[in-house]
């Protein structure tokens, strides 16, 4: 597995504890708690993790506590962690990068508790952050979109211009270009993670500009509903969003967090867990990120193309961000024969060539 | 015959009565909240344990409550000062954001020697908060623009400014996420060795003491009361109305700005988009419940901090949803507010004519 090593410059390294050579061991019976920043059934990000939690509970026969709506504030999160630890919980899973700092401090205060954080940034002797190479699946989604599009113009909604979002956008555009080199990918950032009304309107605006496929990198399905009404194709994210667009759905980029959580928590229980020094970060090969079943309008031919690319990505033969990779402003980001390194992924703040739209505070 | 009830405003509210109505309101609200919680499935015996013992009587719970209280005291006090001179500060969060940004700015640019960094961050945050309230104050004084609207809108502008900084120049380049890089050790308020309680506690207590002193003992405080009661009469009496209004309102902005810096330097150690949420609501509730009395601000903030701590317990162990936590908190606050009616008025019943 490739690591996050290069992603974490000196400032962060100084904060991170060196990972102990020995495995982490629990000192009491495993008690697991999940902490969410919003409701668990949010129709997207948290729901995907909660699906993983439910599978984990069943696979390992655990009774898992859940706290919802714990804000991304150090005091609130720390209070929740303190409460759990005080009552004997010793495996705590957070679900947002906004928990990173406070959870890392808690990990140092409670060395006998195992901490996990989805899309977090810190790792240590008893803490591991995890995320997926979502751009690999978005590349496949881009191929599906481009192959289905007749207008040769596809659209995508995104939240905030952070690395993990920008790589989805660029991965989507690269996948589309792999099928149709000249295709236009129109991208709009909504500057929020969850705003169903706005997302529906943005979706319509992109369709008004002539796009015939809408993909969303957000947690609400309203962008897909808008596409369905117009008879356009739709691509969802986080969970299978086909319910919002039963006719037009092409596929969804989905998480299967249990593919990570179940074996990982089992390791903690077995006393064999050694946190990844730079966090756990894997893609299609791990199964943590994947495509949902294709919709009725995706042709057999497209399915075959995507399946082939998927096999190549899993085998390591195809890299979505392999050179030559040109940014939209004309600079060459990756030369022919090279691959974009992981540190550049996390700080990605450019559009690849072929994207229409504005990145707030970017470029 | 019909009975008519008449509310008659009391000229003076006896202190004992005032305390008694508060206590009765609190007890009634808590009883109502307990009823709701039991209906939601929280076992009745757990209520006492969770909400009184855990929140106020254990060292850990009390530590959490006090930590939550610190910024609440500052914003509550800020709102109370402005309220004293009839200035409705609805831009608490805006001033808080400005203060947080000022502190972050000093940290990012390593301004001043390390030993003076933290005091500089705190001082500048007060200036920034005062500046952000000076704008609506000037608008009001010059052209009579309603400060309710202008402070509220400036709050939104401040938040957009924060977003602009976090997604732009101040973004943590190590992670790419929209938070500023974490503060150095010298830029953090020292912990007091009790949970997460930090030295901001002394700032909050100092601010309360200073405000109580100014309001209770000094001539300025006496004048402020006159201005608050009737500005035109105060002006007619020859009081320096402009000076009094400006000093109280700017002081209010400075305290809210300081709250932002205290959150950044005391608990968060960086600027993020989620640090200021909810302080507008809290500040107004505190100032109102405390009737703009600084010492009462301290008490109310402590109780509200406890309510937040208890809310965390509800979410963590009983799976109570955010909406229900807010409902329960709202029930308690409303009943305390409503109980004031019985302190302010006496009820007389007489036969209708």
Q: What percent of chain A has pLDDT over 70?
A: 93
Give per-residue pLDDT as tens, A256-272.
999 999 999 999 999 99
Q: Looking at the structure, tell me whether residues A20 and A58 fall in a common domain.
A: yes
Chain B environment of A360 (Cβ under 8 Å): 167
Residues of B in contact with A86 (CB under 8 A): 60
Candidates A11, A33, A39; nearest CB to B174: A11
Q: Distance from A226 to chain B by nearest Cα, in Å?
A: 28
pLDDT at B351: 64
Interface residue A68 vs chain B (CB under 8 A): yes
- Interface touch A12/B175, C-beta < 8 Å: yes
**Does A79 reach chain B within 8 Å, measured CB to CB?**
yes
C-beta separation of A222 from A233 below 8 A: no
Whether A80 has its CB under 8 Å from any CB of chain B: the answer is yes
Interface of B with A in 34-73 (CB under 8 A): 60, 64, 67-68
Enumerate the residues of chain B whose CB falls inside 8 A of the CB of residue A33: 316
For position A313, which CATH number holds? 3.40.50.2300
Instruction: Name the H helices within chain A.
Output: 10-15, 45-59, 74-86, 100-109, 134-148, 163-179, 196-208, 222-229, 258-270, 300-315, 342-346
Closest CA to B122 of B195, B63, B206: B206
> How many percent of chain A have pLDDT more than 90?
78
- The total domain count for chain B is 1
> Are A75 and B267 inside 8 Å of each other by CB?
yes
Q: Do A87 and B317 touch (CB under 8 A)?
A: yes
Q: Do A219 and A92 belong together in one domain?
A: no
Do A223 and A95 belong to one domain? no
Question: What pLDDT is stored for residue A21 in this prediction?
Answer: 56
Domain count, chain A: 2
A236 is a domain residue: yes
Q: Which residue of B has its CA nearest to A191?
A: B163
Together in a domain, A66 and A111 = yes
Residue B332 belongs to a domain: no
User: Which of A71, A161, A360 is opposite residue B274, by nearest beta carbon?
Assistant: A71
Domain-located, residue B134: yes
**Inter-chain CB proximity B277 and A164 less than 8 Å:** no
- Residue B32 domain-assigned (yes or no): no
A156 and A271 housed in the same domain: no
**CB-based contact, B164 to chain A, within 8 Å:** yes
User: So what's the pLDDT on residue A361?
Assistant: 61
In a domain, A362, yes or no: no
One domain, residues A210 and A320: yes
Q: Is A293 exposed, middle or buried (0-12, 13-18, 19+ CB in 10 A)?
A: exposed
Question: Is A65's CB within 8 Å of B321's CB?
Answer: no
Answer yes or no: is A88 within a domain. Answer: yes
Asked whether residue A145 is assigned to any structural domain, the reply reads: yes
pLDDT score recorded for residue A8: 40
Expressed as residue numbers, the domain containing A308 is 135-255+291-357
- The alpha carbons of chain B give a radius of gyration, in whole angstroms, of 22
- Say which of A15, A83, A98 has its CB closest to residue B313: A83
DSSP-based three-state secondary structure for B347: strand
Q: What is the pLDDT of residue A92?
A: 97
Same domain for A11 and A112? yes
- Whether A164 and chain B come into contact, CB under 8 Å, resolves to yes
Alpha carbon of A96: minimum distance to chain B alpha carbons (Å):
11
Q: Do A224 and A186 belong together in one domain?
A: yes
pLDDT of residue A161: 87
The pTM score is: 0.83
- Show residues of chain B in contact with A76, CB under 8 Å: 308, 312
**What is the predicted pLDDT for the residue at A19?**
47
Measured in degrees and rounded to the nearest 5, phi and psi for residue B197 equal -65, 130
Name the residue of chain A whose CA is nearest to B318's CA: A67
pLDDT band at A275 (very low <50, low <70, confident <90, very high): very high
Q: Is there a single domain that holds both residue A103 and residue A27?
A: yes
3-state secondary structure of B297: helix
Whether the per-residue pLDDT at A15 is higher than 80: the answer is no
Is A118 within 8 Å of chain B by CB?
Answer: no
In a domain, B15, yes or no: no
Within a domain: A312: yes
Is the CB of residue B311 less than 8 Å from the CB of residue B72? no
Q: Find the CB nearest B178 among A8, A80, A162.
A: A162
Residues A299 and A165 in one domain: yes
Residue B58 belongs to some domain of the structure: no
Q: Could you report the predicted ipTM of this complex, rounded to two decimals?
A: 0.77
Q: What is the pLDDT of residue A16?
A: 46
| Minimum distance, in Å, between the CA of residue A249 and any CA atom of chain B | 31
DSSP string for residues in B47-103: HHIIIIIIIIISHHHHHHHHHHHHHHHHHHHHHHHHHHTT-----HHHHHHHHHHHH
Nearest residue on chain A to B164, alpha-carbon basis: A361
For residue B341, being part of any structural domain is answered with: no
Domain of B88 in residue numbering reads as: 70-295
Any CB–CB contact under 8 A between A172 and chain B? Answer: no
Residues of A in contact with B313 (CB under 8 A): 83
- The confidence score (pLDDT) of residue B2 equals 56
CA–CA min distance B274, chain A (Å): 6
Give which of A115, A207, A111, A101 is closest to A156, Cα–Cα. Answer: A207
Residues A341, A280 share a domain? no
More confident: A194 or B126 = B126
* Chain A / chain B CB contacts < 8 angstroms: 104
Between chains, do A98 and B173 touch, taking CB under 8 Å as contact? no
Note whether A171 and A269 are same-domain residues.
Answer: no
Using the Cβ of B329 and the Cβ atoms of chain A, whether some distance falls under 8 Å is answered with no
Please report whether residue B49 resides in a domain.
no
- Residues of chain B falling short of pLDDT 70: 1-3, 351-353
């Amino acid at each position: 597995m490739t690591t996050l090593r290069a992603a974490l410059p000196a400032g962060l390294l100084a904060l991170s504890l060196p990972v102990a050579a020995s495995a982490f061991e629990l000192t009491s019976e495993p008690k697991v708690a999940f902490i969410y920043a919003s409701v668990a059934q949010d129709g997207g990000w948290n729901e995907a993790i909660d699906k993983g939690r439910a599978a984990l509970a069943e696979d390992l026969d655990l009774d898992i506590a859940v706290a919802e709506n714990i804000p991304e504030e150090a005091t609130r999160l720390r209070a929740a962690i303190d409460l759990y630890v005080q009552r004997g919980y010793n495996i705590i899973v957070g679900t947002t990068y906004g928990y990173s700092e406070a959870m890392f401090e808690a990990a140092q205060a409670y060395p006998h508790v195992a901490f996990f954080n989805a899309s977090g940034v810190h790792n240590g002797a008893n803490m591991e952050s995890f995320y997926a190479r979502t751009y690999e699946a978005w590349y496949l989604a881009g191929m599906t979109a481009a192959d289905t599009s007749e207008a040769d113009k596809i659209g995508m909604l995104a939240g905030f211009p952070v690395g993990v979002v920008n790589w989805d956008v660029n991965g989507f555009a690269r996948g589309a270009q792999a099928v149709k080199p000249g295709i236009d990918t129109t991208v709009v950032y909504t500057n929020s993670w969850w705003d169903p009304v706005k997302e529906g309107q943005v979706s319509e605006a992109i369709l008004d500009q002539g796009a015939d496929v809408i993909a969303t990198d957000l947690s609400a399905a309203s962008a897909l509903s808008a596409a369905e009404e117009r008879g356009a194709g739709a691509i969802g994210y986080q969970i299978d969003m086909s319910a919002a667009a039963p006719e037009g759905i092409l596929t969804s980029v989905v998480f299967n967090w249990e593919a990570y959580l179940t074996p990982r928590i089992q390791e903690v229980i077995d006393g064999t867990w050694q946190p990844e020094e730079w966090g756990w970060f894997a893609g299609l090969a791990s199964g943590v990120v994947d495509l949902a079943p294709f919709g009725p309008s995706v042709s057999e031919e497209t399915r075959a193309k995507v399946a082939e690319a998927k096999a190549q990505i899993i085998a390591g033969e195809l890299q979505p961000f392999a050179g030559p990779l040109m940014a939209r402003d004309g600079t060459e980001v990756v030369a022919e024969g090279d691959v974009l390194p992981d540190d550049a992924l996390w700080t990605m703040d450019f559009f690849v060539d072929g994207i229409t739209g504005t990145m707030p505070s970017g470029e | 015959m019909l009975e008519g009830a008449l509310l008659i405003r009391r000229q003076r509210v006896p202190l004992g009565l005032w305390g008694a109505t508060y206590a009765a309101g609190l007890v009634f609200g808590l009883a109502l909240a307990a009823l709701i919680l039991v209906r939601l499935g929280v076992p009745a015996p757990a209520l006492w344990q969770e909400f009184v013992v855990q929140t106020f009587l254990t060292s850990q719970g009390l530590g959490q409550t006090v930590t939550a209280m610190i910024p609440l005291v500052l914003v509550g006090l800020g709102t109370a000062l402005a309220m004293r001179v009839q200035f409705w500060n609805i831009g608490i969060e805006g001033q808080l954001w400005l203060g947080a940004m000022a502190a972050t700015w000093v940290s990012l640019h390593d301004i001043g020697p390390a030993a003076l960094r933290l005091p500089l961050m705190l001082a500048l945050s007060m200036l920034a908060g005062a500046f952000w309230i000076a704008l609506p104050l000037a608008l009001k004084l010059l052209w009579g623009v309603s400060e309710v609207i202008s402070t509220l809108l400036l709050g939104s502008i401040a938040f957009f400014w924060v977003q602009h900084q976090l997604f732009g120049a101040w973004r943590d380049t190590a992670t790419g996420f929209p938070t500023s890089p974490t503060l150095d050790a010298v830029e953090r308020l020292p912990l007091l060795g009790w949970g997460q309680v930090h030295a901001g506690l002394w700032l909050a207590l100092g601010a309360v003491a200073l405000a109580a002193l100014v309001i209770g003992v000094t001539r300025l405080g006496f004048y402020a009361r006159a201005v608050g009661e009737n500005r035109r009469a105060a002006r007619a009496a020859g009081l320096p109305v402009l000076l009094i209004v400006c000093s109280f309102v700017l002081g209010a902005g400075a305290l809210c700005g300081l709250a932002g810096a205290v959150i950044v330097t005391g608990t968060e150690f960086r600027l993020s988009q989620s640090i200021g949420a909810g302080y507008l609501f809290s500040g107004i509730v505190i100032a109102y419940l405390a009737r703009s009395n600084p010492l009462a601000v301290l008490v109310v903030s402590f109780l509200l901090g406890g309510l937040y701590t208890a809310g965390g317990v509800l979410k963590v162990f009983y799976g109570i949803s955010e909406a229900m936590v807010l409902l329960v908190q709202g029930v308690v606050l409303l009943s305390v507010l409503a109980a004031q009616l019985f302190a302010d008025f006496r009820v007389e019943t007489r036969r209708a004519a």
